[in-house]
Structures are given as C-alpha cells and as structure tokens.
Amino acid sequence: MVKGNAAKRQMVGQLYNNLLKMLTRFSEEIHIRKFSDKIEVVTPIAFVAEVRQLLLDTPGIEQVLEALQFDQMNTLDDIKVKVGEVMHHTIKDKTFVVRAKRSGTHIFGSTDLEQTIGGYMLATYPNSGVDLHHPEVTIRIELLNNQLNIITTKYKGLSGFPIGTQGDVLSLMSGGFDSTVASYLTMKRGLKTHFIFFNLGGMAHEIGVKQVALYLWSKFGSSHKVTFISVPFDDVLTEIFRSTHESYMGVTLKRLMLLAAQEIAEEMQIDALVTGESVAQVSSQTLRNLALIDQASHMLILRPLATMNKPEIIDIANTIGTRRFAES
C-alpha cells in the first residue's frame, strides 16, 4: 500500500506508461485509461488471454478485475436486466450479494443499485437467497456515468511497484535458482534490473544465462530496456587457483566479482548490486564470510533471498517458470 497522494499519482502514472508501451505491441485497438486509483484496459475479445497474462506478470498491479462493459445503461431497469442476463448462472443454488461502485451524475445512489439489482435477481432467477455478510457469490459492478462494468473474474496480481519508480540495480547472474529468483524479486519491487554475468569458461553457460535473463525481462520487465553484460573471468579464476588457499577461494572469487561489478555499475550510474546469496546456504555464505565479501565494495548490496530456505526459492522458481533454466 502506498501512502501519500503524490506517491500514488507517480505510481499510477508510471504503471500507465509501462502498460502503454507493452499493450500496444498486441494491437492498436487496445485502449488504456488512467484514473486516480486504477487503470482501465479495454481489449478486443481476440486479445483477452494475452492481455490478461501480461497484466498478471506486470509489477505494480495488486489485482486484475476482468469485466464485461456495456454502454448506454441509462436507467436502473436497463442495468438490472443486463446484470441478470450476464450473472444469473453464478447464483443458482447459492446465496449472493450485490456490491456496486458508482461515479458520475445519477438520480440514484450505489445503495439503490445494489438493492434494485439484488431484488430483481432474487425474484427472477433460481438462488438460495441474499446474504449480506457471508455470501457464496458476490456480484460486483461499477457504473461510470452510463457505462456499466460487470466484474466477472478477480485475479491476484504480482503487487510490488511499477518498474521505473525505484531506480536501477545490477544483478550478478549465474543462471541458477538463486540469482534468477533474486532478480525476479527486484523487478517485482519496481527496480529496473540489469544483468551481469562472470564467465568462468565456456560459451554454453553464457548462452544459458542469457536465455534466462531474456526470459525474466520478457515476462516481467519488458516495459524498459536493460543491459546484459558478460565479463570474461576465466583468467581470474586460474590465478585464484594458483595463488589462493583452497579455504579462501570462494570468498576471494566473490570479492573480485563484486569489485568488477561495482566498477561497471558506477559507469552505468547504478547505485546498488544484487546477489542471490542466502545466509548459511553454503560455506561462503556464512554471516562472517558475507561480511568479508561486502568489505570489497562500498556499494549497497541487496540480497533478496538472505533469509529464505532453498525449498522456498525453488517454489518461487516453479511459479515464475525459471526452474527449467536452472536445471538445464
């Protein structure tokens, strides 16, 4: 939840611009309208599935209400009949309630809408009665002037913040479970997430990391252009093997990666780095070792997975579709 009208306007405005960029790729027939607390997307039936999925994958959207829209709904009689036609099948053998929101100039109020529609459906169609407190079915409508929206389905969105409202970060990507989920979480939080990969040898690994980075960007962040950077690090690894005691190799490698990432981030005017480390998951990620790694850089380091267990991370990877990349 965002406190403050100015911040809310900024969020809605950024989300509107993000959707405008992405939805026009489907069709110029898709129209977007911005309100103070919501955004309305009107799409031809042919694009409903694609538009729905894009909205559900867009950071900053709390919920998606799918609705059928009807114009020239001028009277209570017009409205009650139309709602009955569309929604009567949902209340068969079930208790129900009608909830209405209204804006514009009308000779009736929201309560009149609820009572009129509810009474008409109660008398006209098979049902188990009205229950104002614990209904099995809630019929939701919105009336904007003479335009009626009947909410047919409610979906939970990603939440978070719109990308572009929280600045840029540079995420250290290995292509495994942890770094991909960490990058997803920063994108969900509204951070424009760039990717950096340290190639320890082998083009196949780099291609795999590029594929998962492209997948994350395409699915969750395509409203903004980002950068993928590959840094050849095989010579650095060879030197670590030659000159470093085995027990310090992991920490030394990560310190050098942070140093290199910091230099690149500063050139890109990025204020923070992202890693997929989780406290005590492996020996290099004890609290002491993480502190030693951090001392190599003066930049803010974000660790979205710091207190997560591996099964929790894998669950998120399953949900967002990156598990197949991590296991390949």
Tell whether 151 and 188 lie within a shared domain: no
CATH of the domain at 222: 3.40.50.620
Which pLDDT does position 3 carry in this prediction?
A: 58
Does 162 map to a domain? no
Same domain, 318 and 172: yes
174 lies in the same domain as 152: no
Q: With contact defined as beta carbons under 8 Å apart, do 201 and 234 qualify?
A: yes
Q: Residue 82 sits in a domain of what CATH number?
A: 3.30.2130.30
61 within some domain: no
Task: Tell me, yes or no, whether 63 lies in a domain.
Answer: no
Give tens-digit pLDDT for 49-68.
Answer: 999 999 999 999 999 999 99
The verdict on residue 316 lying in a domain is: yes
The secondary element (H helix, E strand) that includes residue 176 is none
Same domain, 111 and 213: no
Residues lower than pLDDT 50 in the chain: none
Residue-range definition of the domain harbouring residue 147: 70-156
| Cα gap 189→156, rounded to integer Å | 16
65 assigned to some structural domain: no
Number of domains in the chain: 3
Cβ atoms of residues 305 and 186 within 8 Å = no
Query: Final residue of a domain: which of 106, 134, 156?
Result: 156
Verify that 195 and 254 share a domain, yes or no: yes
Matching residue, tokens 């306007």: 9
Same domain, 103 and 228: no
CB within 8 Å of 93: residues ≥ 6 apart: 126, 127, 128
The gap between the terminal CA atoms of the chain, to the nearest Å, is 38
Q: Which tens digit of pLDDT belongs to each residue from 131-182?
A: 999 999 999 999 999 999 999 999 999 999 999 999 999 999 999 999 999 9
